[in-house]
């Protein structure tokens, strides 16, 4: 018989029977082995069809689990890690949706769209938060949500008087792409459409799409093809490139769920409609299209011998709250990395990352919240109010920890944690005790307790934030500076 199938790689049946006869293997093991054969055969025999692999699982299971499993891939918009911080346009939206459901989030990073589909359809994730192309094959296996986008491929080239201005001008030109990608396939088809002549060059698999854009800017390759969103982002960071020439038609992309998740689909669609009208959504666009740090990290220019560009302001305003100015600087660093134009996934704004509503109480408007001095002044006034809430905490360092946690998460959840500590006989004036119960506020038996007023809370980020601010402060204390 020609060819090889999955059974060729398994143990010969005759040998197994001999082992059973000689007592080396039990009949129970043998029966399990045959079951494995049929399962593997079913999976391998289905080719690209996912019908046998599709599992149930809907919104009810997510809420009971208390965790939304989000499948995505790493790129400048979907998901990436910047200085240990998880970021990304789709990630921030997914985080917002998890908060909408009041559940935790688990991110599953795949290496390809095919892997994402497999993870979804085999029940290892709940939703693909990625711009999945709306192809016939994908629509046959999954349902597209209304978290949708339109995109098309564009040519990336250096800005010059000799730029390619029409696809027919690509004849005789070298264009680089990675084999097997949609960009490679588009170049192959485009070459056929114009009658040939494009010199299509392959790059190693280790080179990412974004690296190709940078390579064009650095004069290492003449041209490449990427999606419009990546091109726009590249142009905002790399001023010497042009991305104005489309080389393909628009294609709809969207988040997707299994066909067996109708309630999840409906929930995402309702949330998506609501969020698309919010200020957070507009700010998210600015954050990732105008200020995305994937290509070139936004770094404030810090004068030599200084901690930040705003040392004098921190020194001036820290006196009002009786803080070492370097502690106030550490707070600002962990909030925004000294980026006065920062926009968080939760909608916090500016250098001190204040929510618009909170900022308005302390005199900030939509313009001044992005200005360093008004933002620092307002933040200090807010810290004053938090200090009053925890005036009974006599130890200053402990009180500061409560203030930092409240600055990050709001005081309501921290007060709940203190109430829980009191109920269970622990000293509520010690941050370590309150921290323990703050972390437990993601469990129903704690956040539904009668002493809790603010309900569910996911506290890992807040607890880490308090530690991070103090770690940064201790680092600053080692810097020789004028007090």
Kindly list the distances between the CA atom of residue 37 and the CA atoms of 26, 27, 121, 196, 218, in Å, as whole numbers in the listed order. Answer: 17, 15, 21, 48, 53
Q: For residue 39, what pLDDT band results from cuts at 50, 70 and 90?
A: very low
Strands 142-151 and 251-258: antiparallel
Report d(CA 101, CA 220) in Å as an integer: 47
C-alpha 60: how far from chain center: 24
Alpha-carbon span 77 to 440, nearest angstrom: 32
38 pLDDT exceeds 90?
A: no
| Residue 1: HSE in the Cβ half-sphere, 13 Å Cα cutoff | 5
- Token pair of 416 as six digits: 């709940």
pLDDT tens readout for residues 412-426: 999 999 999 999 999
> Counting every residue, how long is the chain?
483
Find how far residue 137's CA is from the centre of its chain: 27
- CATH node for 153-249: 3.40.190.10
Overall average pLDDT of the 238-247 stretch: 88
The reply to whether 311-477 shares the fold of 59-151+253-290 is no
Residue 468 or 401, more confident: 401
Give residue-wise pLDDT tens across range 343-376.
776 788 989 999 999 999 999 998 889 889 999 9
Say what the pLDDT of residue 338 is.
Answer: 85
Confidence of residue 272 (pLDDT cuts 50, 70, 90): very high
**pLDDT tens sequence across 82-131:** 656 788 889 999 999 999 999 999 999 998 889 999 999 999 999 999 99
Residue 30 has pLDDT above 90, yes or no: no
Q: What pLDDT, on the 0 to 100 scale, is given for residue 36?
A: 45
> 339 vs 135, which has greater pLDDT?
135
State the Cα–Cα distance between residues 243 and 236, nearest whole angstrom.
11
The CATH class given to the 311-477 domain equals mainly alpha
Using pLDDT thresholds of 50, 70 and 90, give the confidence band for residue 270.
very high
* Contact status, residue 217 vs residue 231, Cβ threshold 8 Å: no
Interval 169-223: pLDDT, tens: 999 999 999 998 889 999 999 999 999 999 999 988 767 788 788 788 878 899 9
Output 391-394 pairs: Cβ under 8 A, ≥24 positions apart: 392/429, 393/429, 394/429
Q: For residues 14-43, give the mean pLDDT.
A: 46
CA trace torsion 464, 468, 471, 477 (10° rounding): -150
pLDDT digits 0-9 by tens, 144-162:
999 998 889 999 999 888 8
Q: What gap in Å lies between CA 232 and CA 187, rounded to an integer?
A: 20
Helices (H) and strands (E) in the chain, counts: 20, 12
- pTM recorded for the entire structure: 0.48
Q: In Å, what is the CA distance from 430 to each residue of 164, 393, 398, 443, 447?
A: 66, 8, 6, 22, 20
Indicate the fold that domain 59-151+253-290 takes in CATH.
D-Maltodextrin-Binding Protein; domain 2 (3.40.190)
Per-residue pLDDT averaged across 311-340, rounded? Answer: 93
CB 128 within 8 A of CB 256: yes
3-state secondary structure 371-412: CHHHHHHHHHHHHHHHHHHCCCCCCHHHHHHHHHHHHHHCHH
Q: In the predicted model, what is the mean pLDDT of the chain?
A: 84
Higher pLDDT, 481 or 404: 404
The residue ranges of every structural domain in the chain are 6-45, 59-151+253-290, 153-249, 311-477
């Amino acid at each position: 018989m020609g060819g090889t199938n999955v059974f060729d790689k398994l143990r010969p049946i005759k040998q197994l029977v001999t082992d059973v006869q000689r007592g080396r293997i039990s009949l129970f093991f043998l029966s399990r082995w045959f079951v494995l054969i049929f399962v593997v055969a079913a999976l391998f025999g289905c080719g690209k069809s996912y019908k046998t692999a599709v599992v149930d699982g809907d919104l009810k299971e997510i809420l009971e689990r208390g965790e939304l499993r989000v499948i995505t891939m790493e790129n400048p918009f979907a998901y990436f890690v910047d200085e240990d911080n998880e970021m990304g346009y789709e990630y921030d939206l997914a985080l917002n949706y998890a908060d909408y459901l009041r559940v935790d989030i688990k991110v599953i990073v795949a290496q390809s769209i095919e892997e994402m589909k497999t993870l979804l359809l085999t029940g290892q994730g709940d939703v693909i938060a990625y711009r999945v192309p709306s192809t016939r094959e994908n629509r046959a296996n999954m349902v597209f949500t209304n978290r949708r986008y339109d995109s098309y491929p564009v040519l990336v080239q250096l800005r010059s008087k000799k730029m390619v201005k029409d696809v027919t001008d690509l004849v005789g030109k070298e264009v680089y792409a990675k084999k097997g990608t949609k960009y490679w396939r588009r170049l192959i088809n485009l070459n056929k459409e114009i009658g040939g002549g494009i010199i299509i060059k392959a790059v190693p698999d280790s080179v990412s799409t974004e690296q190709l854009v940078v390579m064009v800017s650095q004069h290492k390759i003449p041209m490449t093809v990427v999606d419009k969103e990546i091109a726009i982002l590249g142009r905002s960071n790399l001023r010497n490139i042009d991305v104005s020439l489309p080389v393909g038609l628009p294609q709809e992309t969207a988040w997707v769920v299994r066909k067996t998740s109708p309630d999840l689909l409906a929930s995402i669609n309702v949330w998506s409609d609501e969020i698309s009208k919010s200020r957070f959504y507009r700010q998210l666009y600015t954050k990732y299209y105008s200020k995305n740090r994937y290509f070139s990290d936004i770094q404030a220019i810090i004068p030599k011998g200084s901690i930040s560009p705003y040392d004098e302001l921190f020194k001036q305003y820290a006196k009002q709250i009786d803080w070492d100015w370097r502690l106030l600087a550490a707070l600002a660093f962990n909030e925004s990395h000294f980026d006065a134009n920062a926009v968080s996934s939760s909608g916090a704004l500016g250098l001190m990352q204040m929510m618009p509503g909170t900022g308005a109480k302390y005199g900030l408007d939509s313009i001044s919240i992005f200005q360093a001095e008004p933002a620092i002044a307002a933040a200090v006034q807010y810290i004053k109010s938090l200090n009053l809430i925890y005036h009974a905490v006599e130890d200053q360092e402990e009180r500061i920890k409560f203030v930092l946690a409240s600055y990050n998460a709001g005081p309501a959840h921290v007060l709940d944690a203190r109430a829980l500590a009191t109920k269970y006989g622990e000293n509520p004036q010690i941050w370590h005790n309150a921290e323990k119960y703050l972390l437990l506020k993601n469990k129903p038996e704690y956040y539904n307790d009668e002493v809790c007023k603010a309900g569910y809370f996911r506290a890992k980020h807040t607890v880490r934030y308090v530690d991070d601010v103090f770690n940064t402060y201790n680092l600053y204390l080692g810097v020789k500076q004028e007090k």
